[in-house]
Chains A and B, each alone.
Chain A
Amino acid sequence: MLRNYFKTAFRTLVRHLNYTIINVAGLTVGIAVCMMIFVIIQYQTSFDTYHANRSRVYRVLTEHRSSDAANIPFSKDVPFPLPNALKTSFPQIEKVTPIFASNNDQILVTDENGKTLQQFIEPKGVFFTEPSFFELFDFPLLAGTYTSLQEPNNVLLSKATAEKYFGDWHLALNKTIKIQVGGYVFEHGTEVLKVSGILENPPANTDFQFKALVAYGTGFTGSLMNKSIDWNDRTNQGFSCFVRLPEQTAASGINKELATYAAKVQSADNKDVYQLQALADVHYDTQAGNFSNTAISKQLINVLWVIAAFILLIACVNFINLSTAQAVNRAKEVGVRKVLGSNKSRLQIQFIVETFLVVLFAVILAIILTVLTLPYINQLLNLSLSLQIVDRVQTLLFLLAITISVTVLAGFYAALVLSRFNPIEALKSRFKVNSGKGLSLRRGLVVFQFIIAQALIIGTLVIVKQMNFFMNAPLGFQKEAVVNIPFRVDSLRISRLDYLRGKLMSIKGVEGVSFSSNTPVEDGADNWTSFRFNNATKESDYKVITKFTDDQYLSTYHLQLVAGRNLKPSGYTQEFVVNESFVRSLGIKNPEDVLRKKVSIWNGLINCEVVGVVKDFNNRSFRDQVAPLVMTTNNTMYNQAGIQLTATNIPATLAAVKALFSETIPDFVFEYKFLDEKVDGFYRSEMQLAQLYQLFAIIAIFLSCLGLYGLASFMAAQRVKEVGIRKVLGASTGNIIYLFTKEFILLIGIAFAIATPLAWYYMHQWLQDYAYRIEIVWWLPLIGGIGALVIALLTISFQAVKAAVAKPVKSLRTE
């Protein structure tokens, strides 16, 4: 019985091969997109879920209450005294693990005599922590012991890192490496570390992408961080704390106690509080972020789901449209079957079996397609997806669910329509493609498809335009042909800065050199401080950015003074230049009025006069408004050189610069970054979103057009005779093409009218995240609509032209 169904179904599919191919192709792409999104989401939701204690692990977040200049109410950074305070004052917390994540560390691999063999720079992945780290998180050890991290100057390397440094990880154990921690906050030297263990490489789905775990207590982490009792210290970037609670302990109780505790230990003007955040929420917290910049918002995950569902729906719509249209053609066959005694349900089963076969085939092809395109998606989204990560059972269930739901969605309606045919009518073949309810549903579905496709196109256009704005809008300073070369602060280097500058300036192609703590624009890597203006008694209730810059900063980055003068050359801090926003934030109109007034920052540590005001430039990403800024000299704070190059022959100039750096500063890993690339990097997530939207828009329009193509070819087949008659009566080719396209133009027009406000609203909301943003001009949606229309018309025209140019006698003969 069932065999018979399958045999008949197979024959039917082969006989209508054209439609079968269109159906399978559409469903394949739709299902593949779904599967891809499923894999991405499964990957994203698997982060740090494999730790045995995951439900009891929390991260401590700082809720910044005293300030909002930084616009970040929550951050993952905590004051240095916090871990010890939790250990001593909160006995109900089982484990407290401080983690300091440094960055841009230089690693020196030395021989027995301490001679440097190899140098590495680790932008990320060096964590200073305690053995309790492994009582919170599961990272298997290959050699050595976890407890060795109790002793300062011990380090556990990941297998990959050990292999990178020593060739074979077996050789790494008990070897020594030297580390010079990056960053500028601490005056620190080189630490000698002993490799006391090797860890299995962290899996891709953990936010702890460590390369080396150094014992907390080594170097400044022991001498400074672990000893600190200063809750107001603002220099804590990268310092986090995780805790493990006993079973059945709620975080909320501890949060309450923490608030009371913080109020007790902190000075009156420090209102910051601390909160426990469940490990399960960490990966989705895009605001506080994580150590590897992989946080993804729940909202984005939902958007992905919605897009997956829509794409699948579009594919199903194609199937429904084509099948019901075809059903008309098959009316006769159905009629015969009915007359021969086949009942309704038999016909329905027959049709469902056909659908099932198509879907099954599409699912198989979709799996192949997914496997083939996964590397591309990885590259696009900067992920490391693999089908190994994927939970097999879940994936199988997902595929099964897809197969069933698509079969039901796509097959059921068509089955109903088909079996409802009246046998007499069907035998007379009186059915026309555009008669009755079938058409209005089909029209509705086409409109639905094009709403999605056009909304995605409009969304893409808006994102792309905003991206162009990010890349090209003037920032108020020079970012082209500027390279930044980071270096580490120590007294030796400080002593050579002037020599270095002189030498650099003598290189052909170098136009300007400036040493500073930051580039003009940073995405979160700035120093913020509250301040007192003009000997005010109270500190400001907002923070300003502090940049330490030499006197060449303005000229190197082409910043303009609007009042006063530039900083005088100095190695010390003796005067301030501020920006217009700073002046405005004080409620002062005339920049001249702040000149010669005193500003004190860092709790009075620095207290100098303002000597100049610079024109506002974008010192933060376009997400945020220009922040108030103070700039001052201090050569112990410089950690990078900004070099303005002439636009020609940059490689040669860079080679000379590199040679100079290596010669002047020993044990130095030369690295450079073009400022414009760094700025572009701020918008990487937007860039990915733009690419993702583009991809989905293309797929949606492709699928919709595939459906249109099928419908048009079906229409053409149905209307051969009508076209013939019309031509006999004098219709031109243009008339016939219009006949075919006018309905679709109308449908796409309706879709456009619905898609535009939807897309506009959604994209308008999206743009609100950016302080600097484009306007959605009226012609932007129009371009999207016209684009979709043109593509659709080209698709239909292929069939329409074929029908239109055929000789009328040919079509009339079919009678």
Chain B
Amino acid sequence: MIKITDLEKFYRTEEVETIALNKLSMEVKEGEFVAVMGPSGCGKSTLLNILGMLDDADAGSFVFNGIEVSKFNERKRADIRKHNIGFVFQSFNLIDELTVYENVELPLIYTGVKASERKEKVEKVLDKMQIMHRRNHYPQQLSGGQQQRVAVARAVVNNPKLILADEPTGNLDSSNGNEVMELLTDLNEQGTTIIMVTHSEHDARFSHRIIRMLDGQTVTENILV
């Protein structure tokens, strides 16, 4: 599903140039659950952003579903993104002004799903995440775990083929964290490919494979399954 080769990413500030990704290559097959680990600043989030087409690489190739996307412009990438990829962030990134229901509905609106269909889909996913009873609450009125479940619901409501999760349990206590990990495992079992950045060995063990990074490069891989 994903094949990247010699991917490079630099950040230039006035004084220094940081190499965030240094000729990084990796492959993720459809249906896999991959954990990415490594020390702070090694380029995990950068990698995830590029995989999610939120950012573009400076060099190297990125093939998504057999299509070379690294030269795509913003609009084309946005198009692939909204139909194929769901995101879960450490800080949930829910919109405070919208209710739970509205937050989850948003990706459907942007992909042009009809209103009647939207209602059905949103309710189904809220049910699945067991937050149906909170549908009219605002994010601030929920606990961290609940918020992250809303975020996961939002990420999966469009039935994406790929979910990118950047430290999804980073802001949660262990029981809430486990709940989210179980959600992700369920999704994976139903066929969704998942790439997850994490600092937690515990969480990483939910995955099939752990990619370890250092200074913008992959160093080792542990196959768990």
Contacts and interface: CB of A to CB of B under 8 A. Distances in A.
Interface of A: 430, 432, 434-435, 721-722, 724-732, 735, 805, 807-809, 812, 815
A432 B96 CA distance: 9
Given A731-B110, A735-B110, A725 B93 contact: yes
A722 B93 CA distance: 8
A726 B106 contact: yes
Interface string B65-101: 0000000001100100111000101010111110000
B154 interface: yes
A574 to B, nearest CB: 88
A434 B154 CA distance: 23
Choose among A727, A732, A807, A808 the residue with the greatest number of B CB atoms under 10 Å from its CB.
Answer: A808
A726 to B, nearest CB: 7
A737 to B, nearest CB: 14
Nearest to B106: A729
B97 A434 contact: yes
B106 A809 contact: no
B200 to A, nearest CB: 20
Nearest to A810: B55
18 contacts: A432-B97, A434-B97, A722-B95, A724-B93, A725-B95, A726-B95, A726-B106, A728-B81, A729-B82, A730-B82, A730-B107, A730-B111, A731-B110, A732-B110, A812-B54, A812-B89, A815-B91, A815-B93
B55 A729 contact: no
Choose among A432, A730, A732, A805 the residue with the greatest number of B CB atoms under 10 Å from its CB.
Answer: A730
B67 to A, nearest CB: 18
Given A730-B78, A732-B78, A808 B106 contact: no
Nearest to A812: B93
Interface in B50-69: 52, 54-55
A730 B140 contact: no
A435 B95 CA distance: 13
Contact of B54 (A728, A732, A735): A728
Nearest to A732: B78
Contacts of B22: none
A728 B82 CA distance: 8
A722 B52 CA distance: 18
B49 interface: yes
Nearest to A729: B107
A731 B106 CA distance: 9
Contacts of A435: 97
A727 B97 contact: no
A366 B110 CA distance: 48
A128 to B, nearest CB: 79
B97 A730 contact: no
A749 B154 CA distance: 34
Contact of B81 (A725, A730, A812): A730
Nearest to A807: B55
B213 to A, nearest CB: 18
A729 B95 CA distance: 11
Contacts of A805: 74
For chain B, which range describes its interface: under 10, 10 to 19, 20 to 34, or 35 or more residues? 20 to 34
Choose among B91, B95, B140 the residue with the greatest number of A CB atoms under 10 Å from its CB.
Answer: B95
Contacts of B154: 729
A809 B110 contact: no
A735 B107 CA distance: 12
Contact of B140 (A430, A724, A731, A735): A430
Nearest to A808: B54
A730 to B, nearest CB: 3
A566 B171 CA distance: 102
Given A432-B96, A725-B95, 5 more contacts: A729-B110, A730-B107, A730-B111, A732-B78, A735-B110
Contacts of B82: 729-730
Contacts of B97: 432, 434-435, 722
A34 B102 CA distance: 47
Contacts of B89: 812
Nearest to B151: A725
A179 to B, nearest CB: 81
Contacts of B55: 807, 809
A519 to B, nearest CB: 67
B36 to A, nearest CB: 17
A721 B107 CA distance: 16
A372 B167 CA distance: 62
A727 B78 contact: yes
A725 B52 CA distance: 13
Nearest to B157: A729
Nearest to A724: B93
A809 B49 CA distance: 7
Contacts of A809: 49, 54-55
A722 B95 CA distance: 6
A732 B111 CA distance: 10
Nearest to A735: B110
Contacts of B52: 728
B70 to A, nearest CB: 15
A732 B94 CA distance: 18
Contacts of B74: 805, 807
A10 B78 CA distance: 45
Nearest to A721: B93
Contacts of A731: 106, 110
B95 A730 contact: no
Nearest to A815: B91
A434 B96 CA distance: 11
A614 to B, nearest CB: 71
Interface string B185-200: 0000000000000000
B90 to A, nearest CB: 9
A430 B139 CA distance: 12
B82 to A, nearest CB: 3
A809 B56 CA distance: 10
A731 B105 CA distance: 12
Nearest to A813: B45
Contacts of A725: 93-95
A568 to B, nearest CB: 84
Interface string B103-142: 0001100110000000000000000000000000000100
B215 to A, nearest CB: 20
Contacts of A726: 95, 106, 110
A364 B27 CA distance: 67
A469 B188 CA distance: 75
Nearest to A433: B97
B54 A807 contact: yes
Q: What are the 8 tightest A-B residue pairs by CB atom distance, in nearest-first order? A: A730-B82, A730-B110, A729-B107, A809-B55, A809-B54, A725-B93, A809-B49, A815-B91
Contacts of B93: 721, 724-725, 728, 812, 815
A442 B75 CA distance: 35
A732 B55 CA distance: 16
A217 to B, nearest CB: 86
Contacts of B91: 815
A49 B206 CA distance: 94
Contacts of A812: 54, 89, 93
Contacts of B87: 728-729
Nearest to A730: B82
A805 B93 CA distance: 19
Nearest to A725: B93
A435 to B, nearest CB: 8
B4 to A, nearest CB: 17
A806 to B, nearest CB: 10
A99 to B, nearest CB: 74
A810 to B, nearest CB: 9
